[in-house]
Structure 1
Amino acid sequence: MDHATAPLRRDIAEQVTARILDGRLPAEARVNEVRLAAELGVSRTPLREALVELTDRSLLVAEPRRGFRVPPLNIDEARKLYPLVGELEALALRWSAPQDLLGLADRLERQIDDMQATLDEGGDLAGIDDQWHALLLSACANAHLMRLIAQTKPLLKRYDVLYFGGPDRARRSIDEHRRILAAIRDGDLNEAARWLVQNWVNGAAYLGQDPQRSGR
């Protein structure tokens, strides 16, 4: 592969990923390469390279002589991935310097307050939750671990509507975030990591449930 095309390929992959995660390319949709290339203003060659990359990341499925399609939603797979991400994030938390985490505490608290305000206004918490977890992990200097987390988390993004589908679930999630932060302020990273894993495990438990009948 021409190294000169790598930045373009990565940019295309990011744009296609965004379409998958926000539903513009819905589950089980077949990718129309001609149309997508025209939308992105690129040629077919770097587009196909980007699509192959996304198959390696499990965001697309390649079918011989039929091109690419978005994989179906799979609740069972998601229930396995949520705890995995929790364990990876907990590992990143344990590998962060306690003083660096303390330096983030006030910003983490403000974002939790933003979550609460958004919930009170009936808004969507998914974006703020992503920002909170990104900030929490920003103190981890292990680039290999952070890359693994970044590659795994997008697989779960399509399930956000099932995870944040009701106010009771969201309130419980906010409480878990506050417990994580309290443990960080106390200097107890093991307790913070335990609640971080629990937050993700609870997310897996709520997948596929009726948000009006079960809380988060």
Structure 2
Amino acid sequence: MNVKIRRHSLRSQVRDEMLARMRSGAVEPGQSISEAQLAADLGVSRTPLREALIGLAEADQIDWVEGKGFRFKPFSAEELEELAPIVSALEGLAVSLTATDQLPEIGRRLLTLAGDFRAEHVQFAHVAANDDAWHTLLTSGCPNQRLGEMMRNTRQAIHRYERLLVSDHTVVSRVAAEHVKIARAVCDGDIPAAQEALRENWINGVRRMIRLTNAGGGDR
């Protein structure tokens, strides 16, 4: 289905559309990107499209291959496992930069959201949406905009793998205790404990995702 992009902030709109396609699993890993076809599909000229593609390549969301152009990144379980400690470290830094007087309120809201994770079995699309909202709230008090951009880019890279590995309709089971542990540490203002719990959550989550694809079921 063709998607026509409004001629307003074209580069960011094209970027968002590309990210949405990658996150939905609508593109194949390693597939070459035809700029002419994509420009026609989106209803934009080649200039904003190329600017968006360059930005995505710089953020490591797609690849640039010398002499061949842009392509969607191929699947790599090793890269996926490497991303988990990176995003947990970035989020841990964001929590440490949050004003201490904001932490109790953020922590309480995180505990409330974590209560929504207690259903034993849910579709993966629901899990992914809740998880996104939870981690966005966790880092919402961080004033460092550059750090925020780095976190978004790294999460997007993980989301790309999620959609390759797990369909939206796959039924998975939740591990809410990990989120509760993080939230309680934030409530208490215990930054080291929150950072360690974050690391466990991201690393365990990636491992569960890979195990899910191998066994046909799992936890999140």
Fold match by TM threshold 0.5: yes
Question: Measured at CA, do residues 6 and 63 of structure 1 come closer, stay the same or move farther in structure 2, by a change above 3 Å?
Answer: farther
Partner of 1:111: 113
Q: Distance in 1 between matches of 2:116 and 2:136?
A: 15
TM-fit CA distance, 1:214: 5.7
* 8 Å contact from structure 2 (residues 106, 187) kept in 1: no
Partner of 2:136: 134
* 8 Å contact from structure 1 (residues 181, 192) kept in 2: yes
Structure 1 residue identity aligned to 2:134: W
TM-fit CA distance, 1:203: 2.4
Structure 1 residue identity aligned to 2:52: A
Q: Could you list the per-position Cα deviations for residues 10-66 of structure 1 after superposition, in whole angstroms to 9, with x for gaps in the alignment?
A: 221121121122112221222222332122111112112211221112222223443
Query: Normalising to structure 1: TM-score of the pair?
Result: 0.84
1:9 match: secondary structure: helix
Partner of 1:85: 87
User: Any gaps of 5 or more consecutive residues in structure 1?
Assistant: none
Q: Does 1:206 align with 2:208?
A: yes
Q: Distance in 2 between matches of 1:42 and 1:155?
A: 25
User: Any gaps of 5 or more consecutive residues in structure 2?
Assistant: 1-6
* 8 Å contact from structure 1 (residues 104, 135) kept in 2: yes
The counterpart of 2:73, out of the listed 66, 71, 74, is: 71
Partner of 2:160: 158
TM-fit CA distance, 1:212: 4.4
**1:1-216 to 2 correspondence within 5 Å?**
7-117=9-119, 119-124=120-125, 125-160=127-162, 162=165, 167-168=172-173, 170-171=174-175, 174-209=176-211, 210-212=214-216, 215=219
Question: Measured at CA, do residues 213 and 12 of structure 1 come closer, stay the same or move farther in structure 2, by a change above 3 Å?
Answer: closer
TM-fit CA distance, 1:121: 4.3
1:153 match: secondary structure: helix
2:210 match: secondary structure: coil
Question: Measured at CA, do residues 198 and 63 of structure 1 come closer, stay the same or move farther in structure 2, by a change above 3 Å?
Answer: same
Identity of aligned residues (%): 33
Alignment RMSD: 2.6
Aligned length: 208
Q: Distance in 1 between matches of 2:108 and 2:69?
A: 48
Query: Normalising to structure 2: TM-score of the pair?
Result: 0.82
Q: Distance in 2 between matches of 1:176 and 1:48?
A: 41
Q: Distance in 1 between matches of 2:63 and 2:123?
A: 35
TM-fit CA distance, 1:151: 2.4
* 8 Å contact from structure 2 (residues 104, 188) kept in 1: no
Segment drifting more, 76-85 vs 205-214: 205-214
Structure 2 residue identity aligned to 1:38: A
* 8 Å contact from structure 2 (residues 31, 71) kept in 1: yes
* 8 Å contact from structure 2 (residues 33, 69) kept in 1: yes
* 8 Å contact from structure 1 (residues 9, 49) kept in 2: yes
Structure 2 residue identity aligned to 1:68: F
